Amino acid sequence: MMAPIEQADVWLFRLLNHNLVNPAADNLMVFLTNGRLSWHVFVLAAFFIIARKGKNAFSLILLALLAVGLADFVASGILKPLVQRVRPCFALDHVRLLISQPRSYSFASSHAANSAAVATVIWIFFHRGVLVEKLFTSTIILYAFAVSLSRVYVGVHYPGDVLTGMVIGICSALLIYLVFSWLLKNIIQPRLMRRERCTNG
């Protein structure tokens, strides 16, 4: 017999995978969930970052990549083999499966973790900017949420997998940013200041 939390997870999965669906949305959800189709969204985001941040953009993009790497490692490298939760498309009957069946485990969603990590890094650097930067931040956050939701809609993740993945992505991005800020304040900037004093002195 399933625990109450797992029962709620299955109920919410069926709600999102069976009841709150529309054939007109199927193609959009497949597009969002398939990185091979939607990769150019992140390319456009990178161009926007470069246009707004100039030479500092590459540090920001590097932080985003590091956050994604950490989030993916935690979700796919640690939790999936540790928890070994079977995906709903294999565990439940009558699942609306809109993509090919992934053979990896279900918990936690690396798609949700990775997209949330990128969205969090962008929020850190852009949410206090001018209107266009705020709109960019909101768009990326909405896109990350839609990608996460699509994993349930297409039938390959439970909502709990997605929620956990989002938390992993947010925490990974914050951790990477805190480490970067500490290194910048305590190591990089002091060395640059000493080098500048030696050059001028």
Start-to-end Cα distance in the chain: 75
Phi and psi at residue 103, in whole multiples of 5°? -95, -5
144, 116 contact by CB (below 8 A): yes
Structure tokens at 182: 């500490």
Three-class secondary structure of residue 95 per DSSP: coil
CA distance 94 to 117: 32
Catalytic residue among 18, 40, 111, 127: 111
Burial 112-126 (b: 16+ CB within 10 A, else e): bbbbbbbbbbbbbbb
The DSSP H or E segment spanning 81 is helix 80-83
127 is annotated as an active-site residue: no
- Using the 8-state DSSP alphabet, how is residue 72 labeled? H
Catalytic residue positions, numbered: 111, 157
